[in-house]
């Protein structure tokens, strides 16, 4: 009985290995093919990509810089609930450069 289950496991392992090898070969062939558009950005696509980065002023994790207050960060990042989302800030007036805070920008400004 043990020999029979071992043989079936061996056959299963061989089948999985075969499929994995086929998948790897397919991925290799596809990676060698050139795309039809040449893979280059047009000026319009590049401008759109740059605009996406410019429109997103803050990451989810924000490090306070010199001269910033929670009010200025809130306006800049569009998050009116910075204090509520950061329980480690005990005094909203006591922020300092290097303080790490969580930002959740609101889209409906």
Q: DSSP secondary structure string, the chain?
A: -HHHHHHHHHHHHHHHHHHHHHHHHHHHHHHHSPPTTTT---HHHHHHHHHHHHH----SEEE--TT--HHHHHHHHT-TTHHHH-TT-S-TT---TT-EEE----S--
pLDDT, one tens digit per residue, over 17-76 is 888 888 888 888 888 776 555 556 566 666 665 555 555 568 889 999 999 998 899 898
pLDDT of residue 48: 61
pLDDT of residue 23: 85
**Structure confidence at residue 99 as a pLDDT band (50, 70, 90):** very high
Q: What's the rounded mean pLDDT across residues 84-102?
A: 90
pLDDT of residue 43: 66
**Structure confidence at residue 98 as a pLDDT band (50, 70, 90):** very high
**Structure confidence at residue 109 as a pLDDT band (50, 70, 90):** very low
Judged against a pLDDT cut of 60, whether residue 106 lies above it is answered with yes
């Amino acid at each position: 009985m043990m020999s029979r289950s071992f043989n079936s496991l061996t056959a299963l392992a061989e089948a999985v290995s075969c499929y994995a090898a086929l998948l790897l070969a397919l991925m290799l062939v596809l990676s060698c093919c050139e795309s039809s558009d040449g893979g280059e950005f047009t000026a319009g696509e590049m401008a759109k990509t740059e605009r996406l980065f410019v429109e997103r002023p803050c990451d989810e994790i924000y490090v306070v810089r010199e001269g910033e207050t929670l009010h200025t960060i809130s306006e800049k990042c569009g998050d009116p609930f910075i204090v509520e989302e950061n329980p480690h800030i005990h005094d909203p007036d006591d922020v300092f450069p290097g303080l790490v805070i969580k930002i959740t920008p609101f889209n409906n400004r």
